[in-house]
Amino acid sequence: MSVLLLAEVNQGRLATDAVAKTLSALSPLGEVHVLVASGDSEAAAQEASRLQGVSRVLMAQDVSLAHGLAEPLAALIVSLAPAYSHIAAPATAFSKNILPRVASLLDVMVLSDVTHVHDAETFDRPVYAGNAIQTVVSADPIKIFTVRTSSFSAVGEGGSAPIERTDAVADPELSFWVEDVSVVSERPDLTSARVVVSGGRGVGSKEKFDMIIDLADRMGAAVGASRAAVDLGYAPNDWQVGQTGKVVAPELYLAVGISGAIQHLAGMKDSKVIVAINKDEDAPVFRVADYALVGDLFSIVPELTKKLEKQFS
């Protein structure tokens, strides 16, 4: 049995942390081949070949694969599928766009956000915003799923898997890339950061959200946000943490001016230590917080930033 792992490549770079975590979920299932498919795959393929537990890297490079469009990528994966018992990927917007399409083309189901692999047919996954965990047995001839990376630790480097070229298949030309709007920052990535500082509606405005960013920068943390903060334009969409945003499990999560709706908790309740700062002592977020600080964030956050400045200097 061999497993195909679809890796994501951004601007020529492998999404290494996500691939490394997915590898630890997949290695027990058999030999893992990593598919690196993009417009510029050489460096990413090299990077993938060094990860432990990779037995082969399949490298595809073509303009049609440059922007993560689902149709050409799904066509490529379908062409490779007969050699595999499982096809999986980290549960990101990139793979959730592609793998269900692959599954339907192969007439099989897809499982999203797998948190535990019991055996070749049996998987755990959260449902109802993480309020229940289902154990599911698949009867499909080929299992297709995405892996919740926050549930797995990353494999290390030190491998040297062979890299094989594979050809892109003809682009069905159903959709066309127009533009990407992404802000590149020096901050750690939300899904792999050791510390995450998130702000909610309580922060009050986009300008005041700078307070959250300052605190995060002081702590070397990634910045997150509640849906309300994103809807109100305080923070960009890719900072949303929750059921329908990103799922994070850092060592330390600070929730500031966030009430703690189940949809938000779904994205952060597996964090190791949770701190909540809220002026409402009955806020539901306090039910999951290890440390609760009741009070006005507008005085607490600047004080915390200042005092941490001393700690870190």
Partner 1 sequence: MKVIVPVKRVVDYNVKVRVRADGSGVELTNVKMSMNPFDEIAVEEAVRLKEKGIVSEIVAVSIGVKQAQDVLRTALAMGADRAILVDATSDVNQDIEPLAVAKILARLVEQEQPDLVIAGKQAIDNDLNATGQMLAGLLGWGQATFASEIKIADGSAIVTREVDGGLQTVRVSLPAVITADLRLNEPRYVSLPNIMKAKKKPLEERTVAELDIDTTPRLKVVRTIEPPQRSAGVRVSSVDELIEKLKNEAGVI
Ligand X SMILES: Cc1cc2nc3c(=O)[nH]c(=O)nc-3n(C[C@H](O)[C@H](O)[C@H](O)COP(=O)(O)OP(=O)(O)OC[C@H]3O[C@@H](n4cnc5c(N)ncnc54)[C@H](O)[C@@H]3O)c2cc1C
List of residues contacting ligand X (CB under 6 A): 200-202, 226-229, 240-245, 257-259, 261, 263-264, 267, 278-280, 283, 296-298
Residue 206 interface partner, choices ligand X, partner 1, none, CB cut-off 5-8 Å depending on type = none
Mapping DSSP to helix (H, G, I), strand (E, B) and coil, where does residue 198 land? Answer: strand
Residue 127 interface partner, choices ligand X, partner 1, none, CB cut-off 5-8 Å depending on type = partner 1
β-bridge partners, 57: 34, 163
Burial pattern 84-101, b for ≥16 Cβ within 10 A else e, equals: bbbbbbbbbebbbebbbb
- HEC states along 44-84? HHHHHHCECCEEEEEEEECHHHCCCCHHHHHHHHHHHHHHC
How many other C-beta atoms are found inside a 10 Å radius of the C-beta of residue 174? 9
- Stretch of residues binding partner 1 (CB under 8 A), selected from 35-43, 53-61, 198-206, 282-290: 282-290
Mapping DSSP to helix (H, G, I), strand (E, B) and coil, where does residue 307 land? Answer: helix
Is 131 a known ligand-binding residue? Answer: no
Residue 224 interface partner, choices partner 1, ligand X, none, CB cut-off 5-8 Å depending on type = none
Residue 177 interface partner, choices ligand X, partner 1, none, CB cut-off 5-8 Å depending on type = partner 1
β-bridge partners, 87: 4, 144
How many other C-beta atoms are found inside a 10 Å radius of the C-beta of residue 157? 13
Is 278 a known ligand-binding residue? Answer: yes
Closer CB to ligand X, 78 or 232, in the complex: 232
Closer CB to partner 1, 25 or 161, in the complex: 25
288 binding partner 1? (CB under 8 A):
yes
69 binding partner 1? (CB under 8 A):
yes
- CA angle, residues 111, 226, 311, in degrees to nearest 5: 115
85 binding partner 1? (CB under 8 A):
no
264 binding partner 1? (CB under 8 A):
no
294 binding partner 1? (CB under 8 A):
yes
Instruction: Report in angstroms how near the CB of residue 165 gets to partner 1 at its nearest.
Output: 26
